[in-house]
Amino acid sequence: MHNTTLKQIAIQLGISITTVSKALKDYSDVSVATKKAVVDLATKLNYTPNSFAVNLRTKESKTIGLIVPTVDYHFFSKVFKGVLEEAEKRNYLVIILRSNEKLELEKKQLALLLNKRVDGILLSLSNETGDFHHINNVLALKTPLVLFDKIAKLVNCSKISINDRKASYDAVTYLIQKGRKKIAHFRGSYMPQNSIDRFLGYKKALEDNNITYDSTLVYVCDSNLDFEDGYNNAKKALEEHPEIDAIFAITDLVAVGILKYCKDAGIEIPTQIALFGFCNSFVTQVTSPKLSTVDQPGFEIGRRAASVLFDEINLKKNNLPVVFQTIELETTILERQSS
Amino acid sequence: MHNTTLKQIAIQLGISITTVSKALKDYSDVSVATKKAVVDLATKLNYTPNSFAVNLRTKESKTIGLIVPTVDYHFFSKVFKGVLEEAEKRNYLVIILRSNEKLELEKKQLALLLNKRVDGILLSLSNETGDFHHINNVLALKTPLVLFDKIAKLVNCSKISINDRKASYDAVTYLIQKGRKKIAHFRGSYMPQNSIDRFLGYKKALEDNNITYDSTLVYVCDSNLDFEDGYNNAKKALEEHPEIDAIFAITDLVAVGILKYCKDAGIEIPTQIALFGFCNSFVTQVTSPKLSTVDQPGFEIGRRAASVLFDEINLKKNNLPVVFQTIELETTILERQSS
């Protein structure tokens, strides 16, 4: 059908198929008038150039892959928005995949994208990802890859994230300055760097303020970091440690679960327990009381990660050396009613 | 590099390049032992078959396109999840694009996907889409296309949505049964079918219950159907019509904005105003009071739309006739504290 169309255009315009083909590829040895006539007729005939053939010639797919651990969080919607905005500017397409927080699926998705010959990959690691062979393999193949949000410090590539340790240090320091002394931390599982860093920021803030770190005040939310995680751990924590006067949660959904448990149990926020979340999801503005949180700039993380990736794709195309970038975006403490 | 790898495998195993190629394509005239040896070595050498060449041969891209009006709503995250789940089962990739509620961008995104020779397209229409030439062009090219959520009744293709008119009729009937008489409706703009249908369901419920329809009680949220839309229209509506005793909002975010305005203005919910949303976003469970809403099954809409699309792709591949399906998924009224 493809060649039929080229032939049809050639016949209708009384020129050769080669000229039609050159006109569509914008070759300089075809006159502007001919190009216009060809493009007009091609449009009329619903002709679209065969992108596979073009790909084979240029070795570019004008497509990038984006692997996220989950599509459940509002945070990743913001990331999508930032990535799509940068891709649209460059007429690039974005294939979105999820790892479901599983290492095996992450490996499979990377292989699918390589197989598809995407021009580059944006990756936020799964909670299970503790070894990085599969990522180093991609980098060894010289496929541009940028890690974002859930990054690994050990992988040698560009990384866009926030300074989780500092963000969490700031939030806990704020709680201490508000007079809280028994601050619990609801952390994520032991693997992802952001979970580790938020925990370390919490611990450091206690130490710098002469509050002894007590490991029994740290609860691990290791299922989905969701509402239920917050609710169930809050029940456990406040039964085991009724002296707790503040909780710093790894993410807003967990904090919302805590809030709900406190309401059900008649515990007043912020008078009895000050509550602090992380992410600045939309939900934090509509809970009652509104939730204090760390503003994690999802849109900006997506936008910057895509922008760095496109730079690397261009450098590679022009055989120029790539210098990897590590970008830590600023976060802000948002003080609201819950603290 | 591609041929070099094939050659390398052939040399190392002492077999012909043709055999290597056949083994990788799982041809039946190659022994299982040879296949295994080839695949093992190919894996070791990081070999991935050149998918462009494969595409050119099979005319399949194993990729579908998904165009959504926006990535801002939690509803579309649920749709993504449903689509990705079906695609993963079939090893298909999903290119996600957004129209930003603009007709021109929707046209451009469709053209990009056609140019990319995707095997099929899932499309939820923009608010501006009132003429359907661009969609009919895609269908004329025999590219499978399924409309979902924001569909157009006039386009002849498969459609997956909810029965918006019935869902809205049920919600308003419920409010009437609760004794509400001055029920305002905060609708969407005049174009999208779901906005029209929800309005018609509202009107029909009033008429069937002998309540005279009053057009001054209908407010149009024509910016982003968001929190601000709800807040600002609530202010206007309750100043103009202090007699309003219930509001049925086209979507949850608008309802959350109304809720916030009422709190700020000291209007009690549900005693003074009963409030009903639409979608069952996560946020409706954590507002105070919790929001009554229509459960719109986003995950199921995405899953079914993808499933119908993959069926059509397969039928086309096998030169079998496609019968378009119109599927209306069930919705449920969720009665919560706000009504």
Helix (H) or strand (E) holding B131: none
Q: Identify the pLDDT of residue A33.
A: 81
> Cα-flanking dihedrals φ and ψ of residue A264, to 5°?
-60, -35
Query: Quick one: closest CA in A to B46, which residue?
Result: A137
- Listing DSSP states for B281-320 in one string gives -GGGGTSSSPPBEEE--HHHHHHHHHHHHHHHHHHHHTTP
- Mean pLDDT of all residues in chain A? 90
- Listing DSSP states for B52-86 in one string gives HHHHHHH----EEEEEES-S-SHHHHHHHHHHHHH
Taking contacts as CB-CB distances below 8 angstroms, the residues of chain B near A56 are: 52-53, 56
d(CA B211, CA B246): 14
pLDDT (tens digit per residue) in A247-261: 999 999 999 999 999
pLDDT (tens digit per residue) in B218-234: 999 987 788 899 999 99
- Cross-chain residue pair A288–B288, CB shorter than 8 Å: yes
In this prediction, residues B198-210 reach a mean pLDDT of 97
When mean pLDDT is compared across A68-77, A117-126, A284-293, B40-49, the lowest value belongs to B40-49
pLDDT over 90 percentage in chain A: 69
One-letter identity of residue A135: I
Q: What is the ipTM of this complex?
A: 0.75
The dihedral sign for the CA sequence B165, B166, B171, B175: positive
Give burial (CB, 10 Å; 0-12/13-18/19+) of B12.
Answer: middle
d(CA A129, CA A150): 10
pLDDT at B211 over 70: yes
Query: Quick one: closest CA in A to B289, which residue?
Result: A288
Most distant CA pair in chain B, distance? 88
- Cross-chain residue pair B95–A97, CB shorter than 8 Å: no
- Cross-chain residue pair A76–B77, CB shorter than 8 Å: yes
In this prediction, residues B102-125 reach a mean pLDDT of 93
> Cα-flanking dihedrals φ and ψ of residue A163, to 5°?
-85, 90
Q: Identify the pLDDT of residue A160.
A: 97
Q: Identify the pLDDT of residue B59.
A: 66
Helix (H) or strand (E) holding A74: helix A74-89
pLDDT at A216 over 90: yes
CB B324 within 8 A of CB B147: no
Query: Quick one: closest CA in B to A72, which residue?
Result: B77
pLDDT bucket at B212, cuts 50 / 70 / 90: very high
When mean pLDDT is compared across A60-64, A80-84, A181-185, B93-97, the lowest value belongs to A60-64
> Cα-flanking dihedrals φ and ψ of residue A334, to 5°?
-105, 110
- Cross-chain residue pair B95–A93, CB shorter than 8 Å: yes
- Cross-chain residue pair A283–B288, CB shorter than 8 Å: no
Query: How many CB atoms neighbour CB B92 within 10 A?
Result: 23
Q: Identify the pLDDT of residue B281.
A: 87
When mean pLDDT is compared across A111-120, B3-12, B118-127, the lowest value belongs to B3-12
Of A49, A94, A112, the CB nearest to B115: A49
B225 sits in the region (left: phi over 0; alpha: psi -120 to 50; else beta) called left
- Cross-chain residue pair A80–B74, CB shorter than 8 Å: no
Taking contacts as CB-CB distances below 8 angstroms, the residues of chain B near A81 are: 71-72
Q: At what angle do helices B51-58 and A51-58 cross, to 10 degrees?
A: 150
For residue A219, what are the β-bridge partners?
A186
> What is the set of domains in chain B, with CATH numbers?
2-49 (1.10.260.40), 61-162+299-331 (3.40.50.2300), 164-295 (3.40.50.2300)
CB B187 within 8 A of CB B199: yes
Q: How far is CA A103 from the centre of its chain?
A: 16
pLDDT (tens digit per residue) in B292-314: 999 999 999 999 999 999 999 99
pLDDT at A71 over 80: yes
d(CA A23, CA A31): 8
d(CA B120, CA B65): 6
Residue in this structure with the two tokens 């982003």, named with its chain if needed: B224
- Listing DSSP states for A205-273 in one string gives HHHHTT----GGGEEE--S-SSHHHHHHHHHHHHHH-TT--EEEESSHHHHHHHHHHHHHTT--TTTT-
- Listing DSSP states for B175-225 in one string gives HHHTT--SEEEEE--SSSHHHHHHHHHHHHHHHHTT----GGGEEE--S-S
Q: Identify the pLDDT of residue A109.
A: 93
For residue B63, what are the β-bridge partners?
B93
Top residue of A47, A51, A102 to mutate, by most chain B CBs within 10 Å, is A51
When mean pLDDT is compared across A55-64, A118-127, A206-215, B182-191, the lowest value belongs to A55-64
pLDDT at B52 over 60: no
d(CA B168, CA A285): 27
d(CA A140, CA B44): 13
- Cross-chain residue pair B287–A282, CB shorter than 8 Å: no
CB A304 within 8 A of CB A311: no
- Listing DSSP states for A24-48 in one string gives HTT-TTS-HHHHHHHHHHHHHTT--
CB B332 within 8 A of CB B164: no
